[in-house]
Amino acid sequence: MKTLLRNAAIFCCLLALSSCSANGQTVKTYGYKVEEVLPHDAGSYTQGLFFHDGVLYESAGQYGQSSFRQVDLKTGRVERRMNFDRRYFAEGSCVLNGKLYILTWREQECFVYDIATWEKRGSFRYRGEGWGLTTDGKSLIMSDGTSDITFLNPDTFQPERTIHVTLRGQKVLYLNELEYIKGEIWANVYGTDQIVRIDPATGQVRAVINLRGILPAQQRTSGTDVLNGIAVDDHGHVYVTGKYWPKMYRITLVEKK
Ligand SMILES: [Ca+2]
């Protein structure tokens, strides 16, 4: 997946041109303010991050290391953990109607559990890769590493519709971890420090958030990987982290003029 970083540079070039209009719509650009620094398990290759009933959950990837965790927000302590067989590379996760859905990267299988008991309730097969997962409260919303985001029926996992995500008319590839926030889909763009805010009806990027520098150089090691992980709590507070990052951040956005 590291090879994607080369291609991500192309996307960065696109961002440099942002803050212009796309088909008559203005694309806003944001920086960030760190409101709170929280601990994060530097052993977690973060793939899914979300709150449910005030509790933070995280899915983590890599073959032989994949897990799903219930995490104490303030201490970062893993309070409950489920490990996956080494055949599976866990990806994005979310809860809808009391069911926990966890994607796998190339295994083409979405596991379903009861979020209260973590008992397995079944699984769904799908084609292509699984990357990010979130929900608007009705559908599952899934990314697959391309510029497409697919809305799925949570009972059947059948696709309902697909949006093609564009920034100023250009495809935005490598859409990764997702979070549905106030009527928009926020998506990490793999290999970059950017989050794009997407119109769920049209796929157009309404805003770009640049989080460059949020994890300071002195906090980085040779094992530190890319920004990934967006979660919003019941108060509308937004949290971000990254793969093997030692910190998670509660942020607010600062619009760039
Ligand atoms: Ca998320």
Q: What tens digit of pLDDT does each residue of 122-160 get? A: 999 999 999 999 999 999 999 999 999 999 999 999 999
Report the alpha-carbon distance of residue 14 to residue 27 in Å, rounded: 12
Query: What sign does the CA torsion over 14, 20, 25, 26 have?
Result: positive
Using CB atoms within 10 Å of the CB of residue 190, give its burial: 0 to 12 exposed, 13 to 18 middle, 19+ buried.
buried
pLDDT in tens, 57-90: 999 999 999 999 999 999 999 999 999 999 999 9
Report the alpha-carbon distance of residue 18 to residue 30 in Å, rounded: 11
pLDDT at 102: 98
φ, ψ (nearest 5 deg) of residue 13: -60, -40
Report the alpha-carbon distance of residue 50 to residue 204 in Å, rounded: 23
Residue 164 pairs with which residues in a beta bridge?
148
Q: How far is the CA of 126 from the centre of ligand 1 (A)?
A: 20
pLDDT at 160: 98
Q: How far is the CA of 256 from the centre of ligand 1 (A)?
A: 24
Alpha helices in the chain (DSSP H): 4-16
Report the alpha-carbon distance of residue 110 to residue 173 in Å, rounded: 22
Q: How far is the CA of 99 from the centre of ligand 1 (A)?
A: 15
Q: How far is the CA of 35 from the centre of ligand 1 (A)?
A: 19
Report the alpha-carbon distance of residue 128 to residue 148 in Å, rounded: 12
**Band of residue 257 on the pLDDT scale cut at 50, 70, 90:** confident
Q: How far is the CA of 176 from the centre of ligand 1 (A)?
A: 10
Residues 6+ apart with CB under 8 A from 174: 4, 7, 8, 11, 145, 146, 189, 190, 191, 192
Does residue 2 have a pLDDT over 70?
Answer: no
Q: How far is the CA of 159 from the centre of ligand 1 (A)?
A: 20
Does residue 97 have a pLDDT over 50?
Answer: yes
Q: How far is the CA of 47 from the centre of ligand 1 (A)?
A: 8
Which of 15-24, 35-44, 155-164, 198-207 is the least confident region? Answer: 15-24
Q: How far is the CA of 17 from the centre of ligand 1 (A)?
A: 27
User: Whole-prediction pTM value?
Assistant: 0.92
| DSSP label at residue 204 | B
Domains of the chain: 4-256 (2.120.10.30)
Q: How far is the CA of 174 from the centre of ligand 1 (A)?
A: 15
Q: How far is the CA of 255 from the centre of ligand 1 (A)?
A: 22
Exposure string over 11-38, b if 16+ CB within 10 A, otherwise e = beebbeebbeebeeeebbbbebeeeeeb
Outline where DSSP puts E strands in 40-83: 46-52, 55-60, 67-71, 78-83
| DSSP label at residue 85 | P
pLDDT at 112: 98
Q: How far is the CA of 177 from the centre of ligand 1 (A)?
A: 6
